Amino acid sequence: MATSGLSRLEMLLAVLVLVMIVVASMTTYMFYAERDKPKDVDAGEGIAEVAFVREGVVVELDQTEDVDTLTIFDSTGEELGKVDVGQASKRVLADLDWIPYMKYRFDVKLVNGDVLSSPAYAPKEAVPYMLFQIDYNDEFPREEYHASVAAHSHTEAVVRFSRDGTRLAVGALEGRISVIDINQEVEIWREYIDGLKIESVEFSDDGTKVFVGGHNTDWAFYCLDAATGTILWDESVRSEIGDFPDTNSAPSTFIQTAGDRVWMGVSASKLFIVDEEETRSYMTEPRNTSRILHYRSKMFCYNLDGGRMWAFPADGDPAYDDYGGGVMDRGIMQDSIMLDDAGEYLSIVFSSRNGDTKHYDAQLVVFDAQEGEMIWNWSMPIIEEFSYRSHITNAWMDHDGKYIAVGSMDGRGYLFDNEKNVASGIGAPEWQRNLGTYTGFGIGNNSLLTHTSDIVPYTDGETVIFHVARTQDTTSHSGNSKTNIIYGVKDYAAFDLQGGIIWTFKVGETRGYTGTGRYGYGEGGGYITFGNEHQEISGLTQDSSTLHYTYYMHPTRTESYFTIMNLHKGSYDGYSHMEWRIRLDGSPATQGDVSDDGWYVALGESPVDKDPTGSNPDIHGIYRVMVYV
């Protein structure tokens, strides 16, 4: 009897499974049948495509029409939202908190009264939808401007959205700066600044001005009219800061702006070789006097019309004026110049000077942004076991100015409660987390220290994220490198404000770089963007006498991607935060940007040569900037 009962149960289960398969098949058929129905209507050419994207939907028409409104309905016919267009358009973007697999209806009412209508089912995940691209290959032919597979191109663009997300500034090679109208999908203007390699681009808050800085022979930065590209004013501080005795030393100007002010950090460096026979790395040796890295740096604040408000350090400052005239022998780290939205606090990272013991301390400094008075500072502790001092890579202040996250070159990450430190006047971290490994090895006086994990920090006042921007073995010397070894670390690690781990995310098993600087975070939309290359290691050589290794990448098995993660989506698993990843043919830019409302993503691509010999160019990709939603 038991056997007979079990057989009946098995039969019932089999029938149930069959019914479920039939239902699933019918559902799938209905989904595709509905999706593939013709969308032409009597009123006109119809709707060509409906794309469900991160922030809503894109309704693409067959042709440009004089559009009055777009109205969105759910499957019951209830109106969910309406967009007033009132102009000739080929596509309409609409906010919609859509639900996967749900059916929606989109009605496009034309000015003449006709209505174009189409149903559409929402997919499981948001899709990457490219609105347009600006191709610069005619100006920078890929045959002339490209990089090997081991490095990204020197034609890489720096992109920055205006605060309202309607325009995009693009700074690139040889001083080329342009502004793109996002709605019209065209360049408004394109200009050139002689002698400038652009590294920093910012719109003023009101969108009327564009500030540009970077490598410059005159130690200058520029203010341009955002509507025309006309240079309104510029400031050169070369004579004020002064050259090193025998070199220009590739000075850089880095910019941030808020309200009616703009802040500029100027930093130049020179490596002084004391002992040519010394083989220790100047980057890692705590008391290596054979190679000394010196800086000439200064911080400035101007109003939007070019009037100087203050400068730091002041002439004669006993702690920071190293040369006289108020010039520091400390570097200003590019991505560390941060402000809160109110423009009340300015946080900056001063790099340590390597090679002697005068400035072993890398510092985080917080100023009164308007007056230039230092409120508090903090020196990152040395690693006592090796008496090792490290650079702070950069720091990130949240919008309210309450918290500051700091990352180092050796894998240390910190969180500071800025409000608490302002109240006390004393700089002290709330907690520290280690995301890298530092190890000493060697023989006698040639003992070296190796470390991993350039840490790029971020905090929105609720979550703290440390990005392992690079893994590095600084025992490398004279071109030998272990840069491409991936250690046992996660590329992204998110913590709560108490230092508890929330989630981690691994970009890939091997890669040449993964870039996330200040521009990599969507300041309003809660997104992380990054370009990365998955690269396969194909060979290794070792010089046993120096403990140096050289790793070779397989050029034809290199894949480039651009990825975006949504910090408000997902939970414990970092992979659940990933919105989409697109494959690029060339090399991805290490800096993208997200508009403050989260809608638009700008990213760049540069050409790359995958021929390892250099004799038979195999160039992939072009020089271009793309805008996605």
Collapsing DSSP to helix, strand or coil, 520 comes out as: helix
Give 86's contacts (C-beta < 8 A, 6+ positions apart).
67, 68
User: Taking residues 78-104, what's their average pLDDT?
Assistant: 96
pLDDT of res. 26: 55
For residue 154, pLDDT over 90 is answered with no
**Mean pLDDT, the chain, as a whole number?**
80
Q: How far is CA 352 from CA 329, 333, 389, 393, in A?
A: 9, 10, 8, 11
The number of CA neighbours under 13 Å toward the Cβ of 532 is 24
For residue 544, pLDDT over 70 is answered with no
- CA-atom Rg of the chain in angstroms: 28
Architecture of domain 47-121: Sandwich (2.60)
Please tell me what DSSP assigns to residue 373: -
pLDDT of res. 561: 85
Domain layout of the chain by residue ranges: 1-32, 47-121, 237-475
* 20-24, 130-134, 562-566, 618-622: the lowest-pLDDT one: 20-24
Could you please state the CATH topology (level 3) that the domain comprising 237-475 is classified under.
Answer: Lipocalin (2.40.128)
For residue 248, pLDDT over 80 is answered with no
Collapsing DSSP to helix, strand or coil, 421 comes out as: helix
Based on the number of CB atoms within 10 Å of its own CB, is 226 exposed (0-12), middle (13-18) or buried (19 or more)?
A: buried
Q: Is the peptide bond before 313 cis (omega within 30 degrees of 0)?
A: yes
Percentage of residues of the chain with pLDDT beyond 70: 71
pLDDT of res. 514: 41
- By the 8 A CB rule, do 230 and 224 touch? yes
Tokens of 16: 């149930």
pLDDT of res. 467: 81
Across 352-500, the runs of DSSP E, i.e. the strands, are: 363-368, 374-379, 392-397, 403-408, 412-417, 431-434, 438-441, 448-451, 454-459, 463-470, 492-496
Which range in 21-25, 132-136, 217-221 is most confidently predicted, on average pLDDT?
A: 132-136
Collapsing DSSP to helix, strand or coil, 13 comes out as: helix
- DSSP conformation letters of 21-47: HHHHHHHHHHHHHHHTS---BTTBS-E
pLDDT of res. 432: 94
pLDDT in tens, 558-574: 778 888 888 888 776 77
pLDDT confidence of 155, banded at 50, 70, 90? low
pLDDT in tens, 316-325: 999 999 999 9
For residue 180, pLDDT over 70 is answered with yes
pLDDT confidence of 250, banded at 50, 70, 90? low
Greater model confidence, 72 or 598: 72
pLDDT of res. 381: 85
pLDDT confidence of 522, banded at 50, 70, 90? low
User: Taking residues 47-59, what's their average pLDDT?
Assistant: 95
Greater model confidence, 381 or 536: 381
pLDDT of res. 290: 53
User: Taking residues 384-402, what's their average pLDDT?
Assistant: 79
